[in-house]
Structure 1
Amino acid sequence: MKKLPISAIIASRNEGHLLEECLNSIQFCSEIIIIDLNSTDNTQEIAQSFDARIIRETNPALVEELHVKYCTAASNDWLLTYDPDEVVSEALAAEICELFERDIADSKSHVMAPIRYYFKNRMLKGTSWGGLKYRTFLVNRNRYTFSGKVHLGGAALGDWTALYIPYRGNNHIHHYWMQSWNQLLEKHCRYLEKEGEARFSAGERTNLLKIVKTPFTIFFKSFVKARGVKDGLTGFLLSLFRAWYFTTAQIRLLKYQNNRRK
């Protein structure tokens, strides 16, 4: 496969069992940077077998913070922000190659790609995660800025705009999102540490009434509106989890608000 002027930035901690398939799917990138977060498994061996550049990171930062820290370390202006549990389909990889060969992305700040989420290796049909979604896949670091805040991603600079890749049935990212309930809880507990500040920075404000309403609103959106019912018991439990998470995030935001007033 032809190499494109794209640098992949992947943060990984003990995810060597996922890394090989992940890296195999992005062979169109001319540079691969693995940010190793104190892994004790075979992450480094897998990375070396793909001639990836390995950066040891001892600070257990969130991936959004790592994007800010290392976006200037890449050799290319185009960056692929990626997770070890993601696999690019062959059809999407071919489409990315075509975009660059025809200079279609040259006037854009970032590229949005279709993505489908899996829970325990089963594709989710509903819930707030399931069904067809889009996510920021490629960014040009001169036209796009990373927020550095949990779940806030980033934004185009100035008048630059995004390019959306139309979904054609097989040109998507397979996101093997969570393998267990323990993984889901552990990861989101880490996110919660930063939620108050992130939401406040995004201009969000809350109060006790909003907090009381949140679990009911979020559960309804995930299980009913987003058709979590299609995923049966898994969809029900994921919708409950999302309701708990958003309610706790609102509580963290209220605490952050109150501390800012002191």
Structure 2
Amino acid sequence: MILKTDFREGSAGNLVDYIQRDRSRDAESTVDVQNSAGRELSEAEVNRFVEKSREFQFQRHLIVSPDPQGQYTPEEVSANTREVMNRAFGQRATTQYVYAVHRDTEFPHAHVAATGRESELEMDRAEIERLRERAATVYSEAERARGATQASTDTAAQTPSQTVSDEAREELHERELSLEEHPEKDVLQDRARSQETSPSTPSSENKRDKSRAQERQSESVLSREADTTTPEEPSRELQPEPEPEREPEPEPERDMDRTMGG
């Protein structure tokens, strides 16, 4: 479960315009804006909510995005988000909210615009974490995720997963909090590029690197085989070197005096 929220001063006019715009069509068409009872609001009722936010001069934007593996329908996202928000804001006297379900991505998610007194809209980290846990419980995320995992076990080998990553969802919703016009386009393009260079779909550069590595490995194997098949030279026995011939020593000269017998 991804639950993000942003608290600001000022009216909720821009926020309401943002959450009711149908970004999938790049046009002026809108998605349904509903109240805490799940009833679709007319344009006049939406304008009255915006006027109320001008009186309070405080707004809170919440995004409720359940795990895509749960395969929630837009109707389920609508009903579950409404239950979560009614538990969160139902006991706050001045707080009002409207919401819309966005279907412009693979995973339906809800945007909530709330207004009221500052003291009622303020939330610390602990409160936000409790709200996130409550949302996961209402959506029964744990059971849905387990069921989806079990159902996809047999088909995982034939059909690669197309579920958007948690990192991409986090980035998308962070941009949505800033009311970016078309954040989903950048996020999905980044995702497509990452899939092109992923191990399952290697790029041409990765293929070249792999081919070169295989060639080097083959050369190394051939080199080792050549070393093992080269015949060894026969060892030579060491023979003693012949001694050099000695020249005969000259006879000593005789003492002539003694020979002649003087």
What range describes the TM-score normalised by the shorter chain of this pair?
A: under 0.3
Q: How high is the TM-score relative to the length of structure 1?
A: 0.24
Greater strand fraction, Structure 1 or Structure 2: 1
Larger Rg: 2
Report the structure, 1 or 2, having the larger helix content. 2
